[in-house]
A = this chain, B = another copy of it.
Amino acid sequence: MENKNLQIILHSRPTAGISELNFALQKSQIPFPQAGEVLLKTLYLSLDPYMRGRMYDTPSYAASVKLGAVMIGETISEVIQSNNANFSVGQLVSSAHGWQQYAISDGSNLVKLPEYAVSPSAYLGVLGLTGLTGYGALIRYGQPKAGETLVVSAANGSVGSIVAQTGRNLGCNVIGITGGQEKCKILETELSIKTLDYKDDNFSENLKKLTPQGIDIFFDNVGGDIAFEALNNMATHGRFLVCGTISFDRNLPQVKSIDRFPSAFSQVLIKRLKVQGFIFDELVDMKDDYHQQAVTWLHDGKLTFREHIVEGIENAPQAFMSLFKGKNVGKLIIKI
């Protein structure tokens, strides 16, 4: 075995959409911990749609990854050497050390994993960023009430499945949108919610039929056509939550077609909608509340989660590309 640190770097910026060729595998020396530092071995790496935006250098809510730098990402790691009294060897921590096998930390950016009876990888999904995003945003911006109709897109994704289950647990009439009959069946069986297949030719009619009183809350993870259909089926005073736009790469040239922008904002007016964009950062104050609730629900079987685990850091680029093709069910994780 080579004693190297395998890393995936951003090799080039995307031109006609992101590609595996934008990444490169690089071997570097395993770093050496100085006084006060620890050496971390990555166990799990989270892959999430937001990373696409960081590959471009257009302005966004967060800085781009620099060319030649290790791709960013949330990680679960084990402390394998420690010069820091706060961390002993064997301690599991969550942090954001990106697409690499080893990393150095002075401890300031590490969170020790609590002793819940879940796998460490769960701290990248259901108990991590995506879980809190789904739960926190639904509660804060959606203000769901029992009996309301909640529709969530990418409902089998890492955020969507938490939204769907939270809504269900709070007594909402939940409808999950996903692609293909197989994924619909998984959702219906595992989450006990109604589903809609966006690949069905009658998607639009089916959405209307399933929401005769209109959609009170639409939790959007995909943008584009599905978002537009939902917007046209909102109930008066509906809340439209913009969590992600995975179907839309704003850095690509935009397709010529009907301009749906004026009509979209006309719907906002007619239905007196609230459309709210948000990112994870705005929900961190809800983290403790969420963990308490999530652990209780996990224990009671009222919250389940799926992980789509791919082994090997070298497979991260390909796995990442699959995210945008709607291929995975559940949280996409690289096991290093």
Find chain B residues with CB under 8 A from A181 CB.
none
Shortest distance between the CB of A261 and any CB in chain B (Å): 4
Shortest distance between the CB of A235 and any CB in chain B (Å): 12
Find chain B residues with CB under 8 A from A60 CB.
270
* Most interface-central of A228, A247, A270 (chain B CB within 10 A): A270
Contact with B along A247-269 (1 / 0, CB 8 A): 11010001111111111111111
* Most interface-central of A257, A263, A275, A279 (chain B CB within 10 A): A275
- CB distance B248 to A262 under 8 Å? yes
Find chain B residues with CB under 8 A from A245 CB.
262, 265-266, 269
Q: Is A207 an interface residue (CB 8 A)?
A: no
* Most interface-central of A60, A254, A258, A261 (chain B CB within 10 A): A261
Q: Is A61 an interface residue (CB 8 A)?
A: yes
Q: Name A49-100 residues within 8 Å CB distance of B.
A: 60-61
Inter-chain CA distance A276–B247, complex, in Å, is 24
The closest CB in chain B to the CB of A281 belongs to B272
Cβ contact of A276, chosen from B236, B243, B254, B274, cutoff 8 A: B274
Q: Is A160 an interface residue (CB 8 A)?
A: no
- CB distance B254 to A263 under 8 Å? yes
- CB distance A250 to B262 under 8 Å? yes
Q: Is A223 an interface residue (CB 8 A)?
A: yes
Shortest distance between the CB of A219 and any CB in chain B (Å): 13
- CB distance A265 to B242 under 8 Å? yes
Q: Is A180 an interface residue (CB 8 A)?
A: no
Known: A224-B262, A261-B261. 20 other contacts (CB 8 A): A60-B270, A61-B236, A220-B265, A223-B265, A224-B261, A228-B261, A242-B269, A245-B262, A248-B262, A250-B262, A250-B266, A255-B258, A256-B259, A259-B261, A261-B264, A265-B277, A268-B275, A272-B276, A272-B277, A273-B277
Find chain B residues with CB under 8 A from A258 CB.
254-256, 259
Q: Is A244 an interface residue (CB 8 A)?
A: yes
